[in-house]
Structure 1
């Protein structure tokens, strides 16, 4: 049994849960909640960075972070399920990285507001992160990812859906204004991939 260390709110952990379900591995992975701020949590022994998601293999080897775990699951499935071969692979990897970058910037916004007193929140820092999000969303709006075929999304599609879901969850869904193509794309993804709804984040 593989062990996924994650949390119910983690968008990166959500990526892995969706990927595992799409590939038919849901019954091979046990999800164990991790507390990244708890020094007593075994996560820090499994992953020196103390980050989630971390996938612990049956021999105790730990894999991290989400792009590595995604690639490993694709390998277990025989390859070319989430990540295509050839030149197309690099397009999927790059778009996965852009979607992950949206989440990275959103998390920094959340943490800035959560861990600093209101009078010390750096609005320039917030704007800097928000600009990353907006530029990336605009790029996806201008050149939308393909709609999911036969309920089998690739790694970039999963990453983008989880990024948009996180923006809804933590930043109030403001990304939706003026981005009708992306909104429609996410609606189609949710309808085509049942595990998206099944993995809705919560605190």
Structure 2
């Protein structure tokens, strides 16, 4: 079967997961060839990814005319536009703001984990700042659960789903649901969506012990 597009993909990446949820939500999954692509800060650049994206990052989407799109925000908006724009709808900037919160939390968690894995040890002043920001983002989302619940599922919700999924995947001992119960209730509803259930993070290439255990606390 010939696909219209090619996606550099990993089942471990929260940003790739954003794209996959959008593909499911917009009915475009069968139009994309998923190419398993390994990239990491501590590894040499992936030559196949670099051929399409000079930043060497995933997700990267190559569309019908050969143009490569990156990052996840651009890809998701492109796919939504291609399918009629239902995931941004008439509350575009509300959704984009929530997307920025979700993406920002993902970025923070990914950088934090890399910092914790340094042989010389993490820079505590930096990680303390990330801890404060993670708490603030989660508190903001908890406060905005009425608005999130009242707004049709869109790109902002997708990003938040993926950020919370990253907490579950890499920071499970943070027990975020105990501290943000309204957000947890909302997330349980999102988790039942077919697009979310079908794209759950899979650790297909475990990289050793979880360096983040005990490092993110929401209670003190």
With normalisation by structure 1, the TM-score equals 0.90
Alignment partners' CA distance in 2, 1:19 and 1:73: 7
Q: Equivalents in 2 of 1:122, 1:35: separation in Å? A: 27
Provide the residue aligned with 1:120 in structure 2: 121
Please name the residue that 2:141 is paired with.
140
TM-score in terms of structure 2 length? 0.83
Q: State how 1:28-107 maps to structure 2 within 5 Å.
A: 28-36=31-39, 37-79=43-85, 81-85=86-90, 88-107=91-110
Deviation at residue 202 of structure 1 after TM alignment: 2.2
1:106–1:130 Cα contact (<8 Å) kept: no
Matches within 5 A, 1:104-183: 104-114=107-117, 116-117=118-119, 119-144=120-145, 145-147=147-149, 153-172=153-172, 174=174, 175-183=176-184
Identify the match of residue 17 of structure 1 among 16, 20, 23: 20
Find the counterpart in structure 2 of residue 195 from structure 1: 195
Give structure 1 regions of 4+ aligned residues with deviation exceeding 3 angstroms.
37-40
How many residue pairs match? The answer is: 195
- Over the residues paired in the alignment, what is the CA RMSD in angstroms? 1.7
| 1:202 alignment partner, SS class | coil
CA apart distance, 1:127: 1.5
Q: Decide which moves more: 167-176 or 42-51.
A: 167-176
Mark the runs of 5 or more structure 1 residues left unpaired by the alignment: none
